[in-house]
Amino acid sequence: MKQSGLLAALALVLITNGIILAGVLHNRLGEPDARVELTERELRLEGHNRENSAVSLRLTLQRQHDDINGPFPWLERGKLEQLGFDCRTPPDAQDAGLRYDRALPRRVWLVLEYEGKAWQAWRSEAKRRLAELSRRGTEAGEGSRPRNFEAKRLRWESMAGSRLFAIDAGNDPASLRQRYPDRTHCIITPALVRIQLLRAHDQEPHRPARLAGYVQQLLTDSIQVPRDRRGVLTSLAASRQEYSFSGQSEKVFAPRYRVTLNYGKRHEPWVTAVQPLSPARSAAQGEEGATKK
């Protein structure tokens, strides 16, 4: 009896592994849907310990705002309805808060753009905002702690933040690929999107209550690095890198590697190459990223 149970368990493991392997092979058949080169700014090393020799990278978006669950400008009511959200309850209705707070996220296809128009627009706005903060500080005659913090954060993000932006979403990846044909800068990946109610008192300056959306999760954001590609990363995994602006220092990390990432038929990513970046080259790329039009 025990032997038959063990055989059944072993068969289940083999079947499961076979299904997973078949999915991986199918994903990698033919030409990839996208092939992009990202750096440590967008692909950040996840936690590493001695007991686990695996190395994984976390795909990171530029959020465009401080709140991790803040609304995405293009995820307005019309887009949310296209994605299948029920938006019939008016935002100013008495039960709107209860209705939309309980709404479940939807699985959609998300378009991620690397170093494209969204990044250019973000950088231009950051430059404008920095100039405004500097002018206001000069007029006031002394620094303001909130203004100084915002200026430091903007400078940090310009030099070390992710240049990968979510710019669109849909229910059909093929249609999105037709709309965004650049396979070296535009990734199509599954994600969870949530709807949220922005109440009038939550907004500054005050606006009427409205519906918005945000990307709750990228469903393929944790990427395992194959054993034969780990060489550059293994030695770096043990050293802690400060991947977010803490407010304590303006110290900017320089990306230490570049990764070639392929997305296959199932829009699942895999690593095909990892190259080290010298400190001088990383600094030059950071300066270019902060000044390039």
Instruction: Report the pLDDT value the prediction gives residue 270, as an integer from 0 to 100.
Output: 96
Q: Is residue 229 part of a domain?
A: yes
Global pTM value: 0.83
Do residues 167 and 74 touch, judged by C-beta distance below 8 A?
yes
CA angle 260, 262, 263 (to 5 degrees): 150
Domain range for 268: 32-60+222-278
Q: Is residue 212 part of a domain?
A: no
Q: Is residue 25 part of a domain?
A: no
Residue 162's closest CA among 279, 36, 78?
A: 36
pLDDT per residue as tens digits for the range 115-155: 999 999 999 999 999 999 888 776 555 556 677 888 888 89
pLDDT per residue as tens digits for the range 249-280: 667 778 999 999 999 999 999 999 999 998 65
pLDDT confidence bin for 284, thresholds 50/70/90 = low
Q: Is residue 87 part of a domain?
A: no
**Cα–Cα dist 255/268, whole Å:** 24
Domain count, the chain: 1
Q: Is residue 142 part of a domain?
A: no
Count of C-beta atoms within a 10 Å radius of residue 46 = 14
pLDDT per residue as tens digits for the range 38-52: 999 999 998 765 666
Do residues 157 and 62 touch, judged by C-beta distance below 8 A?
yes
**Arithmetic mean of pLDDT, 52-77:** 80
